[in-house]
Chains A and B, each alone.
Chain A
Amino acid sequence: EIVLTQSPGTLSLSPGERATLSCRASQSVSSSYLAWYQQKPGQAPRLLIYGASSRATGIPDRFSGSGSGTDFTLTISRLEPEDFAVYYCQQYGSSPLFGGGTKVEIK
């Protein structure tokens, strides 16, 4: 069974800074079936990235995903105030599983 480990647990940054979030799988994720979701307090998550690097509809281009195999990264090039949230990765190539999340908080 695949395990997804997200790091860091919390990322403290200022608006305008670059955020780099990691998602590491214990086994290779087939066909890069790796997604990223953003969740704000009291809201449902929303899909940001699928297929490791494809942005979902309406997602700003400051969000980018990369990686393959067991190591994946979500990068937010310049943090906007609305980007402070919790981010989850998910593998969906076999039995679906979410990572534990990374909280991006205002420094």
Chain B
Amino acid sequence: QLQLQESGPGLVKPSETLSLTCTVSGGSISSSSYYWGWIRQPPGKGLEWIGSIYYSGSTYYNPSLKSRVTISVDTSKNQFSLKLSSVTAADTAVYYCARLAGEWLVLWWGQGTMVTVSS
């Protein structure tokens, strides 16, 4: 069964870069059938799309975050990663990684990881 596991620091200082990795097990990140994505959810609020990536490295970023976001893929490790620079308290959220159908339909979600931005 497919499993997606987010990992990374749970606390990031303002102005620094948030870095998360999603490890995929039970399936290959190099499958031509799927894209992979990141979505976040601030505490008590709704869902926000961050971006998505294909195994070839092709990416889509939310225009509102584009200047600060980098998503990359490491097929040798079956992982993909998120970097969000210049974070503020507004970036405090649960961050989910996901397997997608097409670029933007979420088929499978990771369990999510809480990231707090605070000094």
Contact = CB atoms under 8 A, between A and B. Distances in A.
Interface of A: 33, 35, 37, 44-47, 50, 56, 88, 90, 92, 95-101
Most buried by A among B62, B102, B104, B110: B104
Contact of A88 (B46, B63, B96): B46
Contacts of A35: 105-106
Interface of B: 46-49, 62-63, 96, 101-107, 109-112
A96 B104 contact: yes
B105 A92 contact: yes
A8 to B, nearest CB: 15
B63 to A, nearest CB: 7
B49 A44 contact: no
B109 A46 contact: yes
Contacts of B102: 92
Most buried by A among B49, B63, B96: B49
A44 B110 CA distance: 7
